[in-house]
Amino acid sequence: MKLASLKQGRDGRLVVVSRDLTRQADAAAVAPTLIAALDNWAAAEPRLQEIADSLEAGRIAHTPFDPKKCASPLPRSFGWADGSAYVNHVALVRKSRGAEVPPTFWTDPLMYRGASDEFIGPCDPIKAADTAWGIDLEAEVAVVVTDVPMGATPAQTGSAIKLFMILNDISLRNLIPAELAKGFGFLQSKGQTAFSPVAVTPDELGSAFDGKKVHLPLLSAINGKPFGRPNAGVDMTFDFPTLIAHAVKTRPLKGGCIIGSGTVSNRDADGGPGKPVPDGGLGYSCIAEIRTVETILHGAPKTPFLNFGDRVRVEMNDAQGRSIFGAIDHEVVKA
């Protein structure tokens, strides 16, 4: 099934959305909000599924679904930890700063805690005060979990994955080097994250989800031009069960927490840097990567970071070309 949160209060109003993303049915009889449903998912899930089945069969009252009226499926969350599972992305972005990738980065996941007190909706503006911050997209895949005990292993954590979303983890690229140099991780150098219009249960991904990774291209576009289409199932050094296990090594993880994949990034078949989509390549999920490749090839970056008025779109289609999550589609505006 597919779930969305219409904008209302701090936690939204939960609706069940049809598979084709055209219709929605009220879910208030089960739970007023997605966060409330996740607090008791074992009870809520079958009842939400009943609504989803009735909606597909046309047996229930429904209204048109409009992503512009959506908050993120979880408009806020008690936990948002983002991995950096595509080490190719890390290697490229570090190269752009002249920083090395330690060998342990291929065996020990990188993960940071992001702000989760307010996510922006999939069509909400990306607000920034200054383009000198180096505003960048980061297109990613994320999972929402139920309770995971401290010390759970990757073999044990996979069953906690209940929902998938895609996201744009806005990064303020020019603030990152100085902030990371302080040693405490990202704080000012990440903007407000936007998730897809709907969150979907694993069955909606069919065989594209093998229990560990999502084997589909993640499509991003800037100002209507295709920018990236790397496959989220390729070059993911740390799969979702491994990322969750990393998060619970020294503490539990509670229901409703979100774990992200980090920026999706594929190497080329030859193991070298990617090529832009217009040149037949898979492209990128963030501008920092293409700037690094440009610097390697031409001595300097050519693609600018985002400016006010620029639009970013992130989407994932199934094998038949149908949008799974709806599109994140939003504009950078001056705060």
Binding site for its own copies (CB under 8 A): 9-10, 39, 76-79, 81, 84, 102, 104-105, 108, 110-118, 127-129, 133, 150-151, 172, 175, 180-192, 246-247, 249-257, 335
Min dist. Cβ of residue 93 to its own copies (A): 11
Judged by CB, which is closer to its own copies: 78, or 234?
Answer: 78
CA 287 to chain centre: 16
Residue 172, φ and ψ in degrees, nearest 5: -105, 85
Judged by CB, which is closer to its own copies: 3, or 247?
Answer: 247
What's the burial of 84, exposed, middle or buried (CB within 10 Å: 0-12/13-18/19+)?
buried
Judged by CB, which is closer to its own copies: 200, or 243?
Answer: 243
Residue linked to tokens 């996510």 = 119
The CA-CA-CA angle for residues 286, 288, 290, to 5°, reads: 80
What's the CA gap between 328 and 335, in Å, rounded?
Answer: 20
Min dist. Cβ of residue 80 to its own copies (A): 9
Min dist. Cβ of residue 118 to its own copies (A): 5
Q: Are 86 and 261 in contact (CB under 8 A)?
A: yes
Min dist. Cβ of residue 132 to its own copies (A): 12
CA 181 to chain centre: 25
Judged by CB, which is closer to its own copies: 150, or 297?
Answer: 150
Min dist. Cβ of residue 298 to its own copies (A): 27
Q: What is the DSSP letter of 308?
A: T
Full DSSP string of 254-281: -TT-EEE--S-----TTSS----GGGTS
Judged by CB, which is closer to its own copies: 9, or 211?
Answer: 9
Judged by CB, which is closer to its own copies: 77, or 220?
Answer: 77
Judged by CB, which is closer to its own copies: 25, or 257?
Answer: 257
What's the CA gap between 63 and 225, in Å, rounded?
Answer: 32
Min dist. Cβ of residue 183 to its own copies (A): 5
Min dist. Cβ of residue 164 to its own copies (A): 19
List of residues 6+ apart from 184 with CB closer than 8 A: none
Strand partners, 220: 228, 314
